[in-house]
Structure 1
Amino acid sequence: MRPDGRERSLVAALFVSGFATFSQLFDAQAILPSLASDLGISSATASLAVSATTSGIALSVLPWAWLSDRIGRTAVMRISLIATTVLALAAPLAPTLEALIAMRALTGVALGGIQAVAMALLVEVLPRHRVPAAAAVYITGNTIGGVTGRVIAGPVSELLHWRVGLLVVAGIGLIACLLFFVLLPRGIEQRDGRVVSMREALGNVGHHLSRWTTVSIYVQGFLVMGAFTAVYNYLGFHLIDDPFRVPAALASLFFLVYFAGAASARVAGALAARIPPWAVVLGGGVAVALAALPMQATSIGVLLAGITLLTVGTFMAHPMSSTLSGLAADRGRAQSTALYQLSWLAGAALWGWFGGVLYDELGWSGVVGLSTALAIGAAGIAASRAWATRTGLSGEGRTA
């Protein structure tokens, strides 16, 4: 059975919400060199503009998930996007670095509503066999949003000012917010009227954290997205330094490789209908680990190939892990998907910042070494889960 018009409209709305989230989450990555130069701070300190936002989301996803159990998933998404738009427009006006970081953190808290419930909504509303493909569309929205935020903010910050770069992306986020309200179908969410208490929600969190079936998914996101963010946070610094000396405005164009990630997310969703999802996650983890060698090259073309491989691998593993966090939950699905979001965002914040410490001390090789170590750990977990699923030891079927 083909998706009906309301289902297509829902998926389109979630695509737009993912676009809005990631354009305003990672636009700061592209302005880090300009921010560091303008304020006379280290790369690790500048990266706090990114880590503050991811940390804000990580801290807020569980409260947002609990609220969505009480007032509904779509209500939370509406509140989240309105708050995000207001805060994103205000953040570039912050007078000091400390104020900017605080505003970026609050923007992350607002963004957490989308990240906490989008996947849970898909799993609850759509037929189970259509969830992976729909999730891939949502992740594609994330990807294209990430590209847009970076590619616009970077050149604008170099040509005008980093504040202007952030403000322009916030304006695009406002348009995306309006589109979301237009596209989201009314009455799509079927609620049973039951209100989940805080005690029950916390019980669901404890339950998910006691099962390797779900914990392994969360750890996967923590490692893979940590590896990915560490590389992308300091790619701009690497490109404008020796031996490449790429102008900062042009360095932002490297983020266009995200479109390869968008394509790989769609392919991963299609593959999951034919092979066990953990095999798809394993393939992504291996690709991220293999990207280490070309990323060390002094040829810009070979470096681009390595960044592309890293991006393709990440967007094979990440969307599938996100989908599994909902499908593998035997209760408290909103809490499970929120825990996955918390995990990957915590990984992005922690390893994204620590990559700067390594970059300042060891240069680009330190960042690549960190990324590779994290990817190897993720691939090991995926391999064990793929084997357990294949042999039936996990008690899971093809889609969990």
Structure 2
Amino acid sequence: MSLASPFDAFPPDAPAETPLKTPAEKTFVVKGSAAYRRISLALFLAGFATFSLLYAIQPLLPNLAAHYGVSPAESSLALSLTTGSLAIAILLAGAFSEGFGRRGMMFWSMLGAALCHIGAAMSPSWHMLLLLRAAEGFVLGGVPAVAMAYISEEIEPRSLGTAMGLYVGGVAFGGMAGRVGVGLLMELCSWSTALTIIGVLDLIAAAGFALLLPPSRNFVRRKGMSLAAHARTWLGHLRTPGMALVFLCGFLALGSFVALFNYLTFRLAAAPFGLSPGFISAMFLVYIAGVVASPWAGILADRHGRVPAQLIGVVLMAVGTLMTLSSSLVMIVLGLTGITGGFFIIHSVASGWVGRLAKGSKGHASSLYLLAYYAGSSSMGSGGGWLWSLGGWPAIVGLVSAMLGVILVATLRIGALEGL
């Protein structure tokens, strides 16, 4: 008697012998249809679950430092290890989903990551917490790259920017809900209990995702790809004009964003602000700007082009970063709003650019983008701690300003390569 695979609950979207489909044979989901609404809601839940799990711990970094007796830079490992292992997993998951399918990969990743998150919340030691957070990131890798590939394959091309914007809106909402929710819950319970509650909510989100997401229509299963074949596919994407620059934009954008928010928590907890964990978490309500900006950026990109939309994001993020140098809490909140809106515009536009530029094997292309994206979070999130210890907040602002300048130049270059 053989044991059934847990993946049997989500059978492959297409059999291995499915022939490649030509563009004329593909059946895309049209904006406004019932299937489009189900996909949008399901992937909104996927984005919500992924990023509430990933970033719920961010406003707790000062609490972790105090509870476990570690430095600010060491406490940042609770986030950086997660995003680092996520970056590695995304590369593997994007490739594996080419042979297995999209839906099952996303569901089991959401479920496993939520369970790891609950385990980390109950961890008795610092090293155990880090181990479970790294495992959480690795398991979670099955969601982001596969979600981008699913959207690129299933949604009609002229609505791709809007659909990607809605997914990124779920990402923004999840990031906000995780950060704000854990802080508000800490006013009623311990940080461990607060993290556990977030994990349970994401188990519910995984169930909703499973019920809503329809089977793939245009997915072509590629069974038995060798490591060399995967490597050739990844290399082919890197050689596609403009693609490496899109990856660079993702690396720098999330690296900047995480560095700013990681060390802002320490700045606001110290004098002269001296804010409580609940109040610091409430600052993440600025993520509402990301929820609004992401779909808007997708619409703007579809109508007027990706270069103007991304440049707006860079300018908003740069102005907001400079505003945080102020000693006024109101100015800092306004600056954070600009940073958040600008970041999610950049990410939404760049995500759509990957689907537009990729020539086949969109799962591989998405995984490369998100590898760069989360590598930026991991490296800059912890590396910023060194600058924080040397030069404080002005050093963080200087680093981010330089990275935004590079994004601006890269965006103009991508536009030139596209002939825009």
TM class by shorter chain equals: over 0.9
- In the TM superposition, residue 172 of structure 1 has moved relative to its aligned partner by 1.2
* Residue of structure 1 aligned with 2:79, choices 43, 50, 56: 50
Aligned residue for 2:122? 93
**2:226 aligned with 1:180, yes or no?**
no
Q: What is the percentage of aligned positions where both structures have the same residue?
A: 32
Q: How does 1:289-304 map to 2 (within 5 A)?
A: 289-304=318-333
After superposition, what is the alpha-carbon deviation per residue over 1:308-360, rounded to whole angstroms, capped at 9, x for unaligned? 11111101111110111122111321111111111110001100111122112
Amino acid in the other structure paired with 1:253: A
Counterpart in 2 of 1:62?
91
**Does residue 1:164 correspond to 2:193, yes or no?**
yes
Residue type matched to 1:168 in 2? Answer: I
Aligned residue runs from structure 1 range 1-400, under 5 A: 2-157=31-186, 160-185=189-214, 187-195=215-223, 197-198=225-226, 199-389=228-418, 392=419
Task: Confirm or deny: 8 A CA contact 1:66 1:196 kept in the other structure.
Answer: no
- Deviation digits for residues 235-271 of structure 1 (CA, Å, limit 9, x no counterpart): 2111121222222211110000000111111110110
> In 1, distance between residues paired with 2:414 and 2:229?
28
Aligned partner letter, 2:265: G
Deviation at 1:119, TM superposition (A): 0.7
C-alpha contact 2:100 2:221 (8 A) present in aligned 1: no
> More deviation in 126-135 or 158-167?
158-167
Task: Report the alpha carbon displacement of residue 188 of structure 1 after superposing the two structures with TM.
Answer: 3.3
Output the amino acid matched with 2:285: L
CA contact (8 A) 1:279 1:382 kept: no
Amino acid at match of 1:353: S
User: Is the contact made by 1:279 and 1:383 (CA closer than 8 Å) also made in structure 2?
Assistant: no
- Provide the rounded CA distance (Å) in 1 between the counterparts of 2:241 and 2:299: 26
SS for the counterpart of 1:291 is helix
Match of 1:395 in 2: none
The CA distance in 2 between the partners of 1:369 and 1:193, in whole Å, is 46
CA distance in 1, matches of 2:221, 2:304: 37
* 1:162 shift after superposition: 2.3
2:18 alignment counterpart: none
Q: Give the direction of change, closer, same or farther, for the CA distance of 1:200–1:281 in structure 2 (3 Å limit).
A: same
In the alignment, residue 369 of structure 2 is paired with which amino acid? Y
Q: How many residues align?
A: 390
Q: Tell which deviates more after alignment, 165-174 or 155-164.
A: 155-164
Report the CA distance between 1:192 and its aligned residue: 3.7
Check 1:171–1:193 CA distance in 2 against 1; reply closer, same or farther (3 A cut): closer
How far apart are the structure 2 equivalents of 1:317 and 1:166? Answer: 29
Which letter maps to 2:260?
V
Contact 1:57 1:108 (8 Å CA) reproduced: yes
SS at match of 1:6: helix
Distance in 1, matches of 2:222 and 2:70, equals 51
8 Å CA contact 1:288–1:372 kept in 2: the answer is no
How far apart are the structure 2 equivalents of 1:69 and 1:233? Answer: 35
What is the distance in 2 between the residues matched to 1:329 and 1:188? 19
Distance apart, 1:2 and its partner CA: 4.3
Q: How far apart are 1:159 and its partner, in Å?
A: 5.2
Contact in 2 for aligned 1:286/1:376 (Cα 8 Å): no
Deviation at 1:84, TM superposition (A): 1.3
Give the conservation status (yes or no) of the 8 Å contact 1:61–1:116. Answer: yes
**Using the alignment, how far apart are the partners of 1:169 and 1:192 within structure 2?**
35
Displacement of 1:212 in angstroms is: 4.0
Specify every segment of 5 or more residues in structure 2 that has no aligned partner in the other structure, as ranges: 1-29
Partner Cα distance (2:87, 2:216) in 1: 27
SS of residue matched to 1:273: helix
1:62-112 deviation line (CA, Å, top 9, x unaligned): 111111111111121122112112212211122211111110011001111
Question: Quick check: 2:101–2:221 contact (8 Å CA) kept in 1?
Answer: no
Say which SS state the counterpart of residue 152 (structure 1) adopts: helix
Following TM superposition, the consecutive aligned residue runs of length 4 or more in structure 1 with deviations greater than 4 angstroms are: none
Q: TM-score, normalised by structure 2?
A: 0.89
Distance (Å, rounded) in 2 between the aligned partners of 1:279 and 1:315: 14
Which ranges in structure 1 are unaligned for 5 or more consecutive residues? 393-397
Q: Is the 8 A contact 1:91 1:100 kept in 2?
A: yes
**CA–CA distance in structure 2, aligned partners of residues 374 and 191 of structure 1:** 36
- Provide the C-alpha distance between the structure 2 equivalents of 1:99 and 1:2, rounded to a whole number of angstroms: 45
Matched to 2:216, the amino acid is I
Cα RMSD for the two superposed structures: 1.6
Moved more, 333-342 or 160-169: 160-169
Q: SS in structure 2 opposite 1:217?
A: helix
Alpha-carbon distance in structure 1 between the residues aligned to 2:125 and 2:186: 17
Any idea what SS the aligned residue of 2:304 has? coil
Query: What TM-score, normalized to structure 1?
Result: 0.94
Which residue identity is paired with 1:293?
Answer: L
Query: Structure 1 stretch 317-326 or stretch 280-289: which is displaced more?
Result: 280-289
> What's the CA shift for 1:190?
3.4
Deviation at 1:307, TM superposition (A): 1.0
